[in-house]
Amino acid sequence: MPAKILISRTIPPEAIALARAGATVDLHPGPQPLPKPELVARLRDKEGLICLITDTIDAEVLQGAPRLKVVSNVAVGYNNIDVAAATARGIVVTNTPDVLTETTADFAWALLMAAARRLVEADQYVRAGKFTQWEMMLLIGADAHGKTLGILGFGRIGRAMARRARGFGMRILYNDALRADPATERELGAMFVDKATLLKESDFVTLHTPLLPDTRHLIGAAELKMMKRTAFLINAARGPIVNEAQLVEALREGRIAGAGLDVYEDEPKVHPGLLSLPNVVLAPHIASASHDTRIKMGTLAVENCLAVLAGKRPPTPVNLEVPQKKQGPARPSAARPAARGGRAAPRRGRPPRSGPPRKHR
């Protein structure tokens, strides 16, 4: 008997076909996430769940799913899932790292360039029929090349931003809970600094940490005050990493020059103050939304789900404890941390704090 899985919302057809080849699939095709009671009802007889970041998979949902063995998130971030509750119930949680790194960095870079060079304002100017003659002082923006980029969260996507910045001849500063190894720093030309130095010295600050208790409001009024008046903030990570109301204030008062945002504190709501500001570029959480990458994300999520249901180690598990307990020892070469967005953790179960690095990695 093939295992039963729920796909909580539309994913690419290639991934759905793969799922149907290995399991009996209950697909919710609607454009809206399933309401919680329906999600729980449809999960009751399922062994696998393939879900999106718009599904909140909390202890209550997990409790209502007695047969569930795997929660496979179609995203690298998994702040929508109560991983501790899943682990306690012996449920494997998986995510989709790596396959979206370059696409997400491409988009964060697009936000950076669009904000610096006022691309959205320029587009609106042309569409409004205002381009009647060339003007020397029209829509003057900021250079990116040769400036300083500050990367907060120097993991997969943060490092992909550093690679792009090298092509622009930028000075690269970074801060992370763990310092990168010297070879990586040399290769990327990136210098580890504390968060205050990064904020004070950067012309562009780009955020690439997971959303964790200690990264919630990592950027608020105090941090925005440290930034240069000419600096830009880019957020293609998670909305609650920034205090959105305080960002609006800083932008209104000209305490920073502008922002490029893909994510919001209370998605899909956007702070009304942002909507009227010309110096902000806004996108609807689409940083990983390229055709190829969405297929890769969907396919990897299905592979993760089917692997667990076949009693195998999934390609990209989040909670290593469960595969160890249920499916034999994890391979050390593929070991990834449990609780912090996918990179080497100093100690399992203890999220890192920002501040001075504890060790190289």
d(C-alpha 6, C-alpha 27), whole Å: 6
If binding is defined by CB under 6 A, does position 206 make contact with ligand NAD? Answer: no
Q: Stretches 80-88, 149-157, 272-280, 313-321: which one binds ligand NAD (CB under 6 A)? A: 149-157
Distance (Å) of CA 165 to CA 149, 189, 288, 292: 7, 10, 19, 24
How far does Cα 115 stand from its chain's mean position? 20
Our CA angle for 1, 330, 14, nearest 5°, is: 50
Give catalytic status of residue 135 as yes or no: no
Residue pair 21/304 in contact by the 8 Å Cβ criterion: no
Query: Per the residue annotation, which of 102, 249, 267, 321 is the catalytic one?
Result: 267
Q: How far is the CB of 22 from ligand NAD (least distance, A)?
A: 26
If binding is defined by CB under 6 A, does position 150 make contact with ligand NAD? Answer: no
96: closest CA among 347, 317, 348, 247?
Answer: 317
Among 25, 91, 99, 212, binds ligand NAD (CB under 6 A): 212
Which DSSP symbol is given to 258?
Answer: E
If binding is defined by CB under 6 A, does position 155 make contact with ligand NAD? Answer: yes
If binding is defined by CB under 6 A, does position 100 make contact with ligand NAD? Answer: yes
Q: Stretches 2-10, 94-102, 116-124, 311-319: which one binds ligand NAD (CB under 6 A)? A: 94-102
Give catalytic status of residue 267 as yes or no: yes
If binding is defined by CB under 6 A, does position 317 make contact with ligand NAD? Answer: no
> Under DSSP, is residue 313 helix (H, G, I), strand (E, B) or coil?
coil
If binding is defined by CB under 6 A, does position 244 make contact with ligand NAD? Answer: no
Give catalytic status of residue 285 as yes or no: yes
Distance (Å) of CA 341 to CA 25, 98, 159, 294, 321: 28, 12, 15, 19, 15
Where does this chain bind ligand NAD (CB under 6 A)? 76-77, 97, 100-101, 104, 152-158, 175-178, 208-212, 214-215, 236-238, 262-263, 285, 287-288, 340-343, 352, 354
Tell me the catalytic residues. Answer: 238, 267, 285
